[in-house]
Structure 1
Amino acid sequence: MNMKNFTLLLIGAFAYFFGHAQGGLRGRVTDSSSKAPLNGATLELKNSNLTRNTISSKTGEIVLNNIPDGSYKISITFVGFETFEKVVTVAGKTVDIGNIAMKRGERLEEVVVKAVTPPAQQKGDTVQFNASQFKVNPDANVEDLVKKMPGIQVDGGQVKAQGEQVKKVTIDGREFFGDDATAALRNLPAEVVDKIQVFDRLSDQAQLTGVDDGNGYKAINIVTREDRRNGQFGRVYAGYGTDDRYQAGGAVNFFNKNRRISLVGLFNNINQQNFAGSDILGLTGTGSGRGGGGAGRGSTDNFQVNSRPGITTTNALGVNYSDLWGKNFNVTGSYFFNNGVNDNNTISTRQLLYAGDSTNYYREVGENQNKNTSQRVNMRMEYKIDSANTLLILPTFNFQSNDNYSKVTGLMNAQNGSPMSSTDNTTRTTGNGYNFNNTFLFRHSFAKKGRSFTAGLTTGLNNRQSTQNVASISSFYKGTIEYDSVLQQQHAETKNYNLSANLSYTEPIGKKGILQFNYNPSYSSNDADQKTWHFDAGTGKFSQLDSSLSNVFNNEVVTHRGGITYRFGDRDKNFNIGLDGQSTTLDNVQTYPQQGTLKKNFSNLLPNAMLRLKLSDKSNIRIFYRSSTSNPSVNQLQNVINNSNTLFLTTGNPNLDQSVSNRLGGRYTYTNSRKGNSFFINFFATQTDGFITNATYRASQDSVLTPTVTLYKGSQLSKPINLNGYWNTNTLFTYSFPYKALKTNLTFNAGMSYIRTPGMINNLINQSNSYTYSGGIVAASNISEYVDFNLNYSASYNNVTNKIQPTLNNHYFSQVAGLGFTLLTKNGWFLQNDLNNQLYRGLSAAYNQNFWLWNIAAGKKFLKDQKGELRLSVFDLLKQNRAISRTVTADYIEDLQTQVLTQYFMLTFSYKIKNFGKAPERKRAEGMPEPGMPGGYPGGGGGRPEGGGRPWN
């Protein structure tokens, strides 16, 4: 079926199913005695697949739309009244539960009952933390709050929960700053938070079908306090310091019932990148992203990065908008602008692996500057057409421009220390690119319980262009010195267009079973055009085309995937098992410098399974298995040499095959609400056949590759290949409990990981095995908002072995210990301290360091309600800041030191905006479900950042 006919068929399916219906619920809650409506009563609708919540309006009305067919238990609660419970069946229409007359509870004479709020609660797959049980200072943001919670870490701009990266943060069930979890946590004050919910969020498609498709991810939902949902709040600040260091910015939120607008700004030269986690990394030249399995230093294939090492000057603005247009149109969106200049001087030592006992050492000193401007837009539009039809639209757009300068001096030494070669290389790359994606999802629920149809269409368009100028001189020592120079300009453009669809139909089987049929066709076209021109001294221009360094290539991928999944479940257990069949065609066509075609076909059977068991009210277990495939990128396929560094040449490989991965994982969760204890165990293992890694050839003598490119003795040529044998396993244990004598929450964690990476060196297969054992403890105070401290210690022991050169097996150790505290007086004086020690052992000699990073600040709060603050801060008081890392691959081990921010003093003024509307007269009972939790939730059933870290002030 060609793509035109497929698109027409999909449009026809939309048109046919658009007019059919789904279910809803409505009613009215009143006081049985006075007959008055109850404003703010909480309704929970729940079965084994879904939990939904809402609250009654001022007139007592309760409305809940877009409910999948099925049988549900509803509970209505209100402080001082007895709980109302009822079982309802939704079958394609709105169920009217009528007037619910709530009875008042029995009056207790002369008895005062004080409820004890637990720190954490287990609600099906969701772990819920009560913010009131984690004391932080009045100026803390949500990131400061969640750092105190068991199983949540924030490090290097990434948020992790229960060992997995958090990919989305929502507020009251609604998206906040798109996929940028860091922005959501850093730009919202902790004082507005009632609860933090950590859960496995289903994909948008799975939320509509009710069947887990394996594309879910870890997410956090922030439940706001009821008295903080209307008003304006935030903080603005400005500061100036020594060495012309400066900062200014703020975050201001406007909350008015359903409409919520947040504005954020950031202007500084002190490494603050509070919401750069999803900003686009500038193009760094052609040929990047070829390395497989982590080989090579960087890849721009994912088009996104976290906080960068070095020193960054940032000018950034962002806005988030969320509103309900009418009763049925829910809209959220965000826009970011980011202009950054990153300076990063580096020193690295790389130990190159060979067969036998020989090895070479490469030392490099780099001077780098990257100027990047990016804009991105994310939107989510959900339209509830009627009581049974829903349309979801998810457009995203990214644009970037980039200017990157790099000057590198490198020296290659033999094992005995004698020099073999050196290079002096200057590269400048300018480029721009855009990325547009849009997804349409439509769901229709039939009148029969459990029967539904879902259709999705995703389109994507991507374009990147770059110009790279390279000037280098390399020296090769052979008794006499031989020189090789490069003076060239390279133009590259890559284009990508993709189109995919997902059709799903569910049919009930018995009382607790659902059978799902799915079909997922997709098409992708990828074009790569690279031309290299040498400098012509006669004309003074880059006018000599080098066909051996030029290539025009097209890659088309057509995939048909279909299968069946059976789901069985009730309140205490859920079980999925499915099998998909997949057919993929890779069609590679080269049109320059020579013409050639290569077509490959792949057929796969891809099983999947998931089991969730509720063991008790305190514990549950979840186990899953998934299989998937991955196709090589156009950069990995394009057969053209990249000679920007003549000592390390790279090329593509049009003969690459598809890789197939199997992933097994599990999680055990135990939460004792009464004692405040929490225990988590997470396990993940991934095995990949046809893993894309590197084949490296290190020359023992000079070899002419093209008329203009020579592989000199001691230099290397790398290209991606497929090899079996990749493994990645990880286990994490976390135990947390309150130590009441010190009013402190203690968290212990321990982890083990094993990574086996295959590679090829001079036609010999190597296996690099990396074993990591880690552990740590965090003691977070829970005393009061006036006294806040955090003690932490973490250590990691790593053992690395290699198959082809056991003599280079090594082990190394690192540790981080820290003490942070904030002391605040009632009249506004404060003192803050952040002291960290880092220790490295077992690295190359120059990198075995032990240093301290000490930041300290003091100041005074003033003005009405202490909204103003004047602060004097010192960053890196001891002038010892460093940034060190180690990279282990199948063909080398590298130690790297990057530029960091050093000591400065700064005086900062900040002003807190705090204007909340009147709190509701009545609040819901503690421990009742929260309003705003979105459908599809399965809840029913400090280390330092890179580059020396975000400055502390």
Structure 2
Amino acid sequence: MRKLFSLLVLLISVSQAYAQAVFGTVQSGTDKSPLPGASVVLKPTAEAGMLTTVTDTEGAFRFDRVKSGVYTLEVRFLGFSVLSRNVQVQQGAVDVGVLALQEENNKLSEVQVVGRAQLGEQKGDTSQFNAKAFKTTADASAEDLVTKMPGVTIQDGKVQAQGEDVKQVMIDGKRYTGEDVNTAIRNLSADMIESVQVFDGQSDRAAFSGFDDGNRVKTLNFTTKKDRRQGYMGKASAGYGTDDRYMVGASVNYFNNNRRITVTGLTNNINMFDFSVGETPGGGMRGRRGGWGGGSPTGIINTNNFGLNYNDMWGKKIEVSGNYDYSSRDILNKQYRYRQNISGDRLGQIYTENSENDNTEESHRFNFRLQYNINENNRLLVTPNISVQRNDNATNRSANTVDGEGTMLTESQNRNNADNNSLNFNNNILFSHRFGTSGRILTTNFNTRYNRFDGDAFQLENTQNFENSDLNVNRNQFIKTDRENFSWSGNMDYSQRLGENSRLQLEYSIGNQQNDSDRRTYDFVENEGRYSDLNTPYSNTFKSDYLSQNFGPSYQYRTEKTRFQLNARYQYATLQSENQFPRDYRLKRNFSNLLPSAEYEYKISKNTNLNINYRTSTDVPSVEQLQDVLDISNPLQARIGNPELDQDYQNRLNIRFRRFDPETNRVFFVGMFGSMTQNYIANSVYTGEVPFALPADYVRQPGARITRPVNMDGYWNVRSFFNYGQPINFISSNLNVHGSVGYSRIPGMIDEQVNYANNTSLGAGINLSSNISEKVDFTVWTNSNYNLVENTLRTNQNNNYFTQNTNLRYNWIIWKGLVYRTELNHQYNSGLSQGVDNSYLLWNMSLGKKLFKNQQGEISLSVNDLLKQNVSIQRNIASDYVEDVQSTVLQRFFMVTFTYNIRKFTSGQAPDMEQENRRGPGGYKGGGYRQH
């Protein structure tokens, strides 16, 4: 007992020795707006460790565990003068108050600075880029700007940064609320941006508690120019073209410091999903927003869209943001599918399919976020969101299966009509309390989620058996589906400072997920003229209850250069399920797992950073995977659930190395991302007999395959990505070279035989973007991928294929407001299946003339797919097949468009677009930097 008492006294003494804290807020001296991401350094006058941090989204910073003494506090932020002051720490906390940074006063008239503007700098795991170093046209969007930056690309229509999809956008440190990242970056003008930060954003829970929970998302933060934070800007366009093609859209942003309102609207039939301030007149330059390989979105799509985004501060303590989006789409799509099956008993079966799909979608989505900074020690965050969706779908499908010698086995004609409605509601409440300067933090979180799905489907089938015509099938059924899901979860984290550089956290969490699904199938009764005969074997009522609990400690050690965190979680979970149809079945299963995780971060130098992150997690099977009912919506590719599935266990390892040389403007990034899954939910495919019960009236056709999910070990997915970038001074451009190596191993079973589909991919690309002139803007990039596909069960069905996508975007102000724009996108494919187009060249262009005094208007003539070669091809690889899918795309049309730029800022005047073109963003001209 005496030793225990002495230990407690020692811990209390250590805690009191470092109870002092230094905190404050960094703001702009011009408009009092917070400066997130500012670098704050606390330097002791005597020999001791220097402390560094960066400000949060509110511009706030805090140093804990500060020894008594005299310090120099330095604050730095790009575009502002360095602030320095002395701070004396004795007993208790030191509030330095509001630190107002002044903009650098270098506005000497017509002074030309020789050399290029600095690209940016590396701040720990944050890459910050100077927007002035990347020239764009005056009417470009933030998307056009960031894709010129090192490591930022467009892949499959999504913005990627450092090899990962961007999932979150912030403006001046305030989160842009909404699910669509592309919409967010397209509705911000490039000439409003001062700098761009790229980093791995932590979850709100981790930000509140100070302990990383592993839920990170790649984030872009746009810092706007001070003279662009009050006023409004936007664009409106209207166009009409051949084949009755039309487009009317508008996007308007209102800025008043903390208050930001964005309104967008769009109606068109040219496959545009959103309208942005950087939209090319006529909507012709769409290749970079399309699907696989950079092609256009599949199908012919009519879209009506309205969006409203709101961000504001209610007083000094409440930050709010909200988003509402309405969308309706009518999509007509025809597809050709060529699938080479991997079989255990039949070699070389080929499945081909032609389908026509008419799909109408309508959705309402609302997201809201309220953060209440009650006081220095208490914060509350509430984030509700709701969505309502309706989907009407009609599909006509013609499919057949042939054997390896080309003999027809089965042919099927079927039609499916479905009317689906869904409601989704989610709410999260997060509260954090800091116990004064003691270093103790309590964080609590409670989440509720509700989902409801109602579906009515009509299914007609006519299947012809070429081996035995007596087994031909004609089926007419109605399927009614009602599905309801309710889940809740809560957790409590308590952390305590152990010493100058270390903290300990204890966490407990509990969650419950309840599913109730009722699927009933009725056969059509001829003499009654209605669907009244309940088909029990094709019906299923299913209930499941999943309860999980987690408990464990976390330890964190942090110094000026090193951060290390180790977590250990013990999870105990129970899964109960109950079936009524097609048979009575009850199941109860218990799971017990240890879930460790660790993270190590080392700041090798000011501009060089290494991060290693290891995580483990579990995932419970979905209702569809557990539901023991045969789905024959495609009779040749039937599916059935498995109520005996276990949860899977995932291991993930991420390694990232970043280096930014501010003297040479060279950027290097390399990352490796790997995952391994035990009890992976794989596909078990049966071409012959099955070890489970099927409906008595089900007729198994030759070549038909039944897929059932099973748990298997051996899933791997490893990929690496690197990017090297530097300026090319002799042509005033930026060069980026990137490459990737990937390997995936997907386990599966075919007729009870194990098969591993191994896919090795090698990729390389180069990107050259201009900073040449105020009248010329171009981007050239090419990306190549070589894939080696190997199957362990049938090695003679291995397949290798090569793809290369090359893109040129070019904007040229020819003379007195005459603008020429063009985009060429070439796709080359080698090794794909027969019956699909291997290569194409998509060429879009427009010629426009600026109008009005400030060149705010433009009339243009544009053409989409000038050569009429546009196609869409997608390759899919699974454990039991390799397939190529070719879809309908929008081809050549001409359009005349009128566009008007809306711009007015605090000066009360609209910016002169011709002057903006001459000067470029931030006054950049001809590779130099002009300051006024």
Shift of 1:571: 2.2
Q: Distance in 1 between matches of 2:843 and 2:311?
A: 40
Q: Is structure 2 residue 258 aligned with structure 1 residue 258?
A: yes
Shift of 1:865: 0.8
Q: Is structure 2 residue 222 aligned with structure 1 residue 233?
A: no
Q: Is structure 2 residue 535 aligned with structure 1 residue 532?
A: no
**Residue identity opposite 1:476 in structure 2:** N
Q: Distance in 1 between matches of 2:732 and 2:318?
A: 46
Percent identity between the two aligned chains: 35
The corresponding residue for 1:801 is 790
Identify if the C-alpha distance between structure 1 residues 427 and 310 changes in structure 2 by more than 3 Å, giving closer, same or farther: same
Shift of 1:66: 8.6
SS of the counterpart of 2:272? coil
**Residue identity opposite 1:51 in structure 2:** V
The corresponding residue for 2:706 is 717
Please identify, of 842-851 and 615-624, the stretch whose mean Cα deviation from structure 2 is larger: 842-851
Shift of 1:801: 0.5
Q: Distance in 1 between matches of 2:190 and 2:348?
A: 53
Contact 1:705–1:711 under 8 Å retained in 2: no
Identify if the C-alpha distance between structure 1 residues 91 and 422 changes in structure 2 by more than 3 Å, giving closer, same or farther: farther
**Residue identity opposite 1:844 in structure 2:** S
The corresponding residue for 1:376 is 365
Q: Is structure 2 residue 312 aligned with structure 1 residue 323?
A: yes
SS of the counterpart of 1:553? strand
Identify if the C-alpha distance between structure 1 residues 760 and 77 changes in structure 2 by more than 3 Å, giving closer, same or farther: closer
The corresponding residue for 1:17 is none
Q: Distance in 2 between matches of 1:174 and 1:423?
A: 54
The corresponding residue for 1:622 is 611
Q: Distance in 1 between matches of 2:403 and 2:204?
A: 55
**1:469-480 residue pairs with structure 2 within 5 A?**
469-478=458-467, 480=469
**Residue identity opposite 1:163 in structure 2:** G
Q: Is structure 2 residue 218 aligned with structure 1 residue 218?
A: yes
Query: CA-to-partner distance for each residue in 1:680-737, whole Å, 9 max, x for gaps?
Result: 1010110000000111100279999322212223211111000000000000111111
Identify if the C-alpha distance between structure 1 residues 673 and 356 changes in structure 2 by more than 3 Å, giving closer, same or farther: farther
The corresponding residue for 1:146 is 146
- Out of 865, 870, 873, the residue aligned to residue 884 of structure 1 is 873
Shift of 1:674: 1.6
Give TM-score scaled by structure 1 length. Answer: 0.85
Contact 1:315–1:340 under 8 Å retained in 2: yes
Query: CA-to-partner distance for each residue in 1:868-893, whole Å, 9 max, x for gaps?
Result: 01010000100111110111100011
Identify if the C-alpha distance between structure 1 residues 785 and 494 changes in structure 2 by more than 3 Å, giving closer, same or farther: farther
Q: Is structure 2 residue 164 aligned with structure 1 residue 164?
A: yes
Contact 1:232–1:254 under 8 Å retained in 2: yes
Query: CA-to-partner distance for each residue in 1:745-778, whole Å, 9 max, x for gaps?
Result: 1111110100000000000010000000011111
The corresponding residue for 2:375 is 386
**Residue identity opposite 1:230 in structure 2:** Q
Shift of 1:354: 1.1
**Residue identity opposite 1:229 in structure 2:** R
Q: Which has the higher contact order (CA 8 A, sep 6+)?
A: 1
Q: Is structure 2 residue 506 aligned with structure 1 residue 517?
A: yes
Identify if the C-alpha distance between structure 1 residues 104 and 903 changes in structure 2 by more than 3 Å, giving closer, same or farther: closer
Query: CA-to-partner distance for each residue in 1:113-139, whole Å, 9 max, x for gaps?
Result: 779631131111110111111111111
**Residue identity opposite 1:124 in structure 2:** G
- Out of 786, 790, 794, the residue aligned to residue 779 of structure 2 is 790
- Out of 830, 840, 851, the residue aligned to residue 851 of structure 1 is 840
SS of the counterpart of 2:871? coil
The corresponding residue for 1:279 is none
Shift of 1:93: 6.8
**1:104-503 residue pairs with structure 2 within 5 A?**
117-274=117-274, 309-355=298-344, 358-478=347-467, 480=469, 482-503=471-492
**1:718-797 residue pairs with structure 2 within 5 A?**
718-797=707-786
Q: Distance in 2 between matches of 1:105 and 1:400?
A: 53
Shift of 1:639: 0.5
Shift of 1:180: 1.8
Give aligned pairs, total. Answer: 856
Please identify, of 821-830 and 534-543, the stretch whose mean Cα deviation from structure 2 is larger: 821-830
SS of the counterpart of 2:708? strand
SS of the counterpart of 1:359? coil
Contact 2:346–2:403 under 8 Å retained in 1: no
**1:80-99 residue pairs with structure 2 within 5 A?**
83-86=83-86, 95-97=95-97
**Gap regions ≥5 residues in structure 1:** 1-21, 31-36, 55-62, 277-297, 299-305, 920-953
**Residue identity opposite 1:605 in structure 2:** L
Shift of 1:70: 5.3
- Out of 548, 567, 570, the residue aligned to residue 559 of structure 1 is 548
- Out of 54, 59, 81, the residue aligned to residue 51 of structure 1 is 54
SS of the counterpart of 2:136? coil
What's the C-alpha RMSD, in Å, of the aligned pairs? 3.1
SS of the counterpart of 1:635? helix
Q: Distance in 2 between matches of 1:912 and 1:473?
A: 56
Shift of 1:812: 0.5
Q: Distance in 2 between matches of 1:838 and 1:850?
A: 5
Contact 2:549–2:573 under 8 Å retained in 1: yes
The corresponding residue for 2:650 is 661
Q: Distance in 1 between matches of 2:190 and 2:864?
A: 24
Q: Distance in 2 between matches of 1:885 and 1:99?
A: 54
Shift of 1:436: 0.5
Shift of 1:591: 2.8
Shift of 1:76: 4.6
SS of the counterpart of 1:145? helix
**Residue identity opposite 1:185 in structure 2:** I
SS of the counterpart of 2:144? helix
Identify if the C-alpha distance between structure 1 residues 666 and 848 changes in structure 2 by more than 3 Å, giving closer, same or farther: same
**Residue identity opposite 2:879 in structure 1:** A
SS of the counterpart of 1:709? coil
Query: CA-to-partner distance for each residue in 1:628-679, whole Å, 9 max, x for gaps?
Result: 1111011100101111122111110000001001111111111111211111
Shift of 1:824: 0.8
**Residue identity opposite 2:357 in structure 1:** N
Q: Distance in 1 between matches of 2:638 and 2:560?
A: 58
**Residue identity opposite 1:842 in structure 2:** G
The corresponding residue for 1:909 is 898
Contact 1:578–1:609 under 8 Å retained in 2: yes
Query: CA-to-partner distance for each residue in 1:366-415, whole Å, 9 max, x for gaps?
Result: 00011000011111100011221000001111110110010000011111
Shift of 1:81: 6.7
Query: CA-to-partner distance for each residue in 1:223-245, whole Å, 9 max, x for gaps?
Result: 11111011010101110100011
Contact 1:91–1:448 under 8 Å retained in 2: no
Identify if the C-alpha distance between structure 1 residues 102 and 309 changes in structure 2 by more than 3 Å, giving closer, same or farther: closer
Please identify, of 99-108 and 715-724, the stretch whose mean Cα deviation from structure 2 is larger: 99-108
The corresponding residue for 1:288 is none
SS of the counterpart of 2:55? strand
**Residue identity opposite 2:302 in structure 1:** T
Identify if the C-alpha distance between structure 1 residues 88 and 411 changes in structure 2 by more than 3 Å, giving closer, same or farther: farther
Q: Distance in 1 between matches of 2:107 and 2:756?
A: 72
Q: Is structure 2 residue 590 aligned with structure 1 residue 601?
A: yes
Identify if the C-alpha distance between structure 1 residues 25 and 121 changes in structure 2 by more than 3 Å, giving closer, same or farther: closer
**Residue identity opposite 1:571 in structure 2:** E
Q: Distance in 2 between matches of 1:92 and 1:211?
A: 24
Query: CA-to-partner distance for each residue in 1:239-287, whole Å, 9 max, x for gaps?
Result: 01000111111110010111110001121111111389xxxxxxxxxxx
Q: Is structure 2 residue 706 aligned with structure 1 residue 707?
A: no
Identify if the C-alpha distance between structure 1 residues 535 and 67 changes in structure 2 by more than 3 Å, giving closer, same or farther: farther
The corresponding residue for 1:934 is none
Contact 2:388–2:424 under 8 Å retained in 1: yes
Query: CA-to-partner distance for each residue in 1:580-616, whole Å, 9 max, x for gaps?
Result: 1000100111133433210000111111010111111
Identify if the C-alpha distance between structure 1 residues 840 and 100 changes in structure 2 by more than 3 Å, giving closer, same or farther: closer
Identify if the C-alpha distance between structure 1 residues 359 and 115 changes in structure 2 by more than 3 Å, giving closer, same or farther: closer
Identify if the C-alpha distance between structure 1 residues 87 and 503 changes in structure 2 by more than 3 Å, giving closer, same or farther: farther
Identify if the C-alpha distance between structure 1 residues 313 and 74 changes in structure 2 by more than 3 Å, giving closer, same or farther: farther
The corresponding residue for 1:12 is none
Q: Distance in 2 between matches of 1:713 and 1:142?
A: 55
